[in-house]
Amino acid sequence: MCVQNEENSNFCPKSVAEFLDGKHIFVIPSYQRGYRWEKKQVIDLLEDIYEFSKSGQDSCYYLQPLVVKRCKWRPNGNEEEVDAWEVLDGQQRLTTLRLILLYIFEKGLMDYEKDAYSLDKIYKIDYTNRPKLDFEKPEPRANIDSYYLYTAKNTIDEWFKDRVAKGIMNPFKQCLMYENNEKNEKKVKFIWYEMEEKKQTLESIQVFNRLNKGKISLTSSELIKALFIMDIMRKKEQVAGDNKIKADELVLDFNEMERQFQNDKFWYFISNSNDTYQTRIDVLFDFLTEKPKDNHDNDYAYRKFQNLFDRMTGTIGNANSTELDDLWQKKGIDSMQKAWEEVSRTYNSMLAWYEDDMYYHYVGFLVSMGDKPREIYNYLSVKKLSKEEWTKDDTKRELRKKIMENFKNKNDYLKKDDIEGLEYGSEFVPRILLLFNVESCLKKGQRFDFDSYKKEQWDIEHISSQSNASLVEHEDRLRWLENVKYILEIESKLVARKEEAEKLLKECGDLIPEYNASKRGIEKQYEEFSKKALGYFSAENDKINNIDNLGNLTLLDYRTNREYQDAPFPYKRYRIIEEDKEGRRFIPVGTRNVFLKYYTNSDLESSFIDALRWTQKDAKCYLEEIHKIVDPIFEVVENKEPNTNE
């Protein structure tokens, strides 16, 4: 039985089994976030319950507090109200336990148990934000809550499958399901904490906020959302129904923003994969509150909004007891409503950048280089103040200047004439190749795939490998031989190369099984053959002068580079074409065009006809294309008026 404590709130332990009567309904109000547990948290809970269930002594396993308040609720929008419990804290475990019970009831009950237990006996959970949330068959693409439910459900399925042969189901379900079990007194219990029913919505939110301020489970953005809803609900001069409508509208807008940040195309444009945010929408509030780059406080933005809320609502004593933060004074924001309007404007600005091709590519490049969106925004804002009339061409020029900050050698900008001298190992090579690809996409009306680019690890690859010295591992050399054999089989069918290709093909075919068997002296044979093969695949009359020069380098993802490392040009070309046709991997436009020889002058260069060789003329044409694409950007810092149509 529960007892009354000093605060007149009911406090007692309650077993999970008590909630399997088909009568318990728990309501998750709109000011809370949705379900957000990830795989590790789900597994941790499963493991904890399992370890408890098989322990040698009778006892209880107590979950963290479940803080609730009695309420009336209309399930599925029905007109008839029923008794329910509003959850102020504990919804993540409550939801995960429901998913665990669903699995047990669907797949773990014995026939005799099915007579007493059915799915409708499990306690219900209604999320006010997601009235049609499907716990049994969540659709991961429907919304963010369904995505996390889907992930958790799959995690539970896999966990039980891996352990079902160990006979864990009976002790596991006994400690969850059976309230009166003489043979097993083990029970999983919540610490039940019941608030007074008379407390109003605003007080409930404040309790929720206070309970979660110090917890890792709630992020800065989720607490900020609660502050906005609290502000709406506190306005007593408005009709209560209007308050709920406004709160629901805010939650819908917030959820739409959150959904957009879950879109990888948008997220990896505005952020880098190595950025550490508790949830992705946190970047929006860090942007708005101008969080310093070197500040690692996850609650930085929340503290700013809490300051505004406290100042405007008189939460701490009276309105004058809390000084308004300089941030809000500078922005002219003196209410939570104005702050929400600023949130909306900031989000819409980010979205406008994403939807505009020029902003998308230039801001995306700068973010890839480590700039924060706020830094770019501030930079442009300062520049706009220096000119009475501001055009999109001005924005383009200033973004190009900002891009050139990444091409500085100490205090001096890299000049366009310096590009040709760049070699493998220079810090500027990956930057120039990324810029070349990004600017090429912009000019062609395509979109550079920042999400694919940032999800992969990227390397600088030699287009033509005229040395295999970098291959030292047995498996790498064996793979190289297989690649050479494959392309020799093709070339042995070409009249122009038939005789020499057939000779090399036989030698390669004989060498592979001997090398695979690590025959004595085979390393010397490999080195002799590799010299012949590389000589054969190089352009006899127009070899690459410097294989480390930029004209012989391209951008390739690590996995592709690892697979084709030091393979001859024709094999790399073949594989890049196959990967591109299948769409299995992201191939940057510049990389694809290099191996298709799109940059070689088809009217003047014979190497265009010979698609299976990479020559010095090809490298020269490639460098000319790089100049054509990136020179207009380099010119903005060379005291020249750039052609903004470039």
Give per-residue pLDDT as tens, 181-212: 545 567 888 878 887 766 555 556 555 555 55
**Could you tell me if 149 and 283 lie in one domain?**
no
Do 287 and 179 lie in one domain? The reply is: no
For residue 259, what are the domain limits?
Answer: 220-355
Residue at 99 is within a domain: yes
Look at residue 429 and tell me if it is in a domain: no
Q: Which residues are paired to 12 by β-bridges? A: 192
Let me know: does 192 contact 66? Beta carbons within 8 Å: yes
CA 560/CA 127 separation, integer angstroms: 45
Check whether residue 271 and residue 192 sit in a common domain.
no
Least confident of 71-80, 402-411, 463-472: 463-472
Spatial contact of 483 and 568, defined as CB atoms under 8 Å apart: yes
- 32, part of any domain: yes
The amino acid at 94: L
Gap between the Cα atoms of 589 and 581, Å rounded: 13
Residue 208 lies inside a defined structural domain of this protein: no
Strand partners, 65: 191
Q: Are residues 15 and 117 in the same domain?
A: yes
Q: Which two tokens stand for residue 326?
A: 């300089």
CB 93 within 8 Å of CB 129 = no
Supply the mean pLDDT for the chain. Answer: 81
Dihedral sign of CA atoms 511, 512, 514, 518 in order: positive
Question: What confidence score (pLDDT) does residue 576 get?
Answer: 80
Measured CA angle at 209 (ends 207, 215), to 5 deg: 115
Mean local confidence (pLDDT), 591-604? 81
Residue 325 banded pLDDT, cuts 50, 70, 90: confident
3-state SS assignment for residue 26: strand
3-state secondary structure of 596: coil
Q: How far apart are CA 232 and CA 612, in angstroms?
A: 68
**61, 179: one domain:** yes
Tokens of 222: 């989720």
What torsion do the CA atoms of 570, 573, 579, 580 make, to the nearest 10 degrees? Answer: -150
Q: What share of the chain is helix, strand, coil (3-state, %, to 5)?
A: 55, 10, 35
Q: Could you tell me if residue 235 is inside a domain?
A: yes
Q: Which two tokens stand for residue 458?
A: 């990227």
- Specify if 168 maps to a domain: yes
128 and 188 fall within a common domain: yes
CA 295/CA 460 separation, integer angstroms: 33
Mean pLDDT of 258-272: 92
Beta bridge partners of 412: 409
CA distances from 275 to 18, 91, 184, 603 (A): 43, 28, 48, 47
Domain match, 96 and 22 both: yes
Domain stop point among 131, 165, 199: 199
Better-scored residue on pLDDT, 585 or 420: 420
Q: Indicate whether 8 and 115 sit together in one domain.
A: yes
pLDDT of the residue at 323 = 60
My answer on whether 109 and 232 are in the same domain is no
Any domain includes 116: yes
Tally Cβ neighbours within 10 Å of residue 76.
Answer: 7
Q: Which residues are bridge partners to 89 per DSSP? A: 67
Of 339, 355, 371, at which residue does a domain stop? 355
Greater model confidence, 62 or 99: 99
Residue 244 lies in a domain: yes
Q: Based on the fold, state whether residues 195 and 224 are members of the same structural domain.
A: no
Give the span between the Cα atoms of 399 and 366, in whole angstroms: 9
Comparing CA positions, the residue from 136, 116, 120, 125 lying closest to residue 178 is 116
SS (H, E, C) 522-585: HHHHHHHHHHHHHHHHCCCCCCCCCCCEHHHEEEEEHHHHHHHCCCCHHHHHHHHHHHHHHCCC
For residue 142, give both structure tokens: 């429907």
Dist. CA 394–CA 67, nearest whole Å: 56
Same domain, yes or no: 230 and 272: yes
Whether 129 and 71 share a structural domain:
yes
Domain count, the chain: 2
Q: Pick the last residue of a domain from 337, 355, 373.
A: 355
At residue 428 the predicted structure's pLDDT band, cuts being 50, 70 and 90, is very high
